[in-house]
Amino acid sequence: MFDIRYPAPGDPKLARRVAELLAPLPVVQDESWGLDHGTWSVLCKAYPEARIPVVQLSIDVRRPPAYHFESVAGWRRCATRAC
């Protein structure tokens, strides 16, 4: 699995916007990790040319499910206007 490559471009501007929308939740932007296999395994079938920008979010395993559920308020703000 580590030999598979899916070189989709990132989108730092979109990542910054996502962090803004999720505020006041702390968002750490980290470009040192590759995409999770749960992300690239689906995208490589749907977009085999890897030409779409990908921004991936991870959950904080130290937090309860309710914390993550409440965090979608930022996404609701995004849905009501152009991000």
Dihedral pair phi/psi, residue 13, rounded to 5° = -65, -45
pLDDT on residue 79:
62
| 78: helix, strand or coil | helix
Q: What is the DSSP string of 14-73?
A: HHHHHHHHHTTS------SS---HHHHHHHHHH-TT--S--------TTS-HHHHHHTTH
List the chain residues with pLDDT less than 50.
none
Predicted TM-score (pTM) of this structure: 0.72
